[in-house]
Amino acid sequence: MNLLEVAHLSKKYPGFALQDISFSLPSGYIMGYVGQNGAGKTTTLNAITHLNHCEGTIQIDGIQYENDPVKYLEAIGFVGDSSYFPEDLNLRQIRSILKDFYSTFRPEEFDHYVKHWRLPERARIKGFSRGMKVKLMFASILSRDTKLLVLDEATNGLDPMVRKEILGLLQEYISDGSRSVLFSTHILEDLEQIADFIFLINEGKKIFCDTKEELLETYLLIKGGREDLTPELKKQLIGLEENAFGFEALYSVKNGLPPAGWLSAKPSIDQIVVHIIEDMR
């Protein structure tokens, strides 16, 4: 069953348009939503969290915002690249607000995460580090009943150990098969570890939406000498980058085996995305 269904999402701004974005995310999976700055990632996420209005339809667990706005919004947990809690509040005040605001909020579970992460209860949020603020946001959403986590650059600027712990929490979140994660990030090595699907958006358009395994099986990273490049071979390469020593590019195995003499290796998700975007310039 699809937990998230996005159909024909479109929105126009001066100089930019989100164009007919459609995808679905099954229950129990993580999707990486990637692209360059200004590609339309945040516009899409803001439409899903209903921070802006777009043409098209969005359903979470079969519910549209227009039909049941409270149930729709309560199904979402959001973590962005900056804290959304008032800076002058402390944890006790935030706990009280969350308890009054969300019917499914569990104070004892919130306290568990606060103690586990050693977050100071009496200190004001403005004194928290970037990592502490991210942990607080996760504590607030993991201590209530949500169906979909929407993450917008949530792991940016975190040290490797905190990032590792957050990625583990995301895998634990979907482990019962009833919840899913939509994860927009520039740190593609995070998606290499945990994502099941990768969606690439560029200039407001959907470029592809495939499973991570399918992407890794479809492409090879090719390297060779510049003397090996012929006009015909160049047509088969994706995101060709030439330098003084030779070239590097993606090659689709759908074209058959690469020519003899070229070095080939499995690419990373980062290399696939970079070369495909480069090919569109």
Q: What pLDDT digit, counting tens, does each position of 117-175 carry?
A: 999 999 999 999 988 999 999 999 999 999 999 999 998 878 888 889 999 999 999 99
Average pLDDT over residues 223-235: 85
CATH number of 2-211: 3.40.50.300
The confidence score (pLDDT) of residue 259 equals 74
pLDDT value at 257 more than 90: no
Please report which confidence band the pLDDT of residue 229 belongs to, taking 50, 70 and 90 as the band edges.
Answer: confident
pLDDT value at 262 more than 90: no
Mean pLDDT of the chain: 93
Domain boundaries, the chain: 2-211, 215-279
- Name the DSSP class of 253: G
What confidence tens digit (pLDDT) does each residue in 13-31 have?
999 999 999 999 999 999 9
Phi, psi of 99 (to 5 degrees): -65, -40
> 79, 153 in Cβ contact below 8 A?
no
What confidence tens digit (pLDDT) does each residue in 180-196 have?
999 999 889 999 999 99
Residue 15 CB burial class (10 angstroms; 0-12, 13-18, ≥19)? exposed
Out of 90-94, 231-235, 251-255, pick the least confident. Answer: 231-235
What confidence tens digit (pLDDT) does each residue in 29-64 have?
999 999 999 999 999 999 999 999 899 999 999 999
pLDDT value at 261 more than 80: no
Dihedral sign of CA atoms 165, 169, 170, 172 in order: positive
The confidence score (pLDDT) of residue 161 equals 87
Within a 13 Å sphere around the CA of 57, how many CA atoms are in the beta-carbon half?
9
- Global pTM reads 0.93
| Structure tokens belonging to residue 239 | 């995101």
Of the candidates 121, 9, 119, 126, the residue with the CA atom closest to the CA atom of residue 59: 9
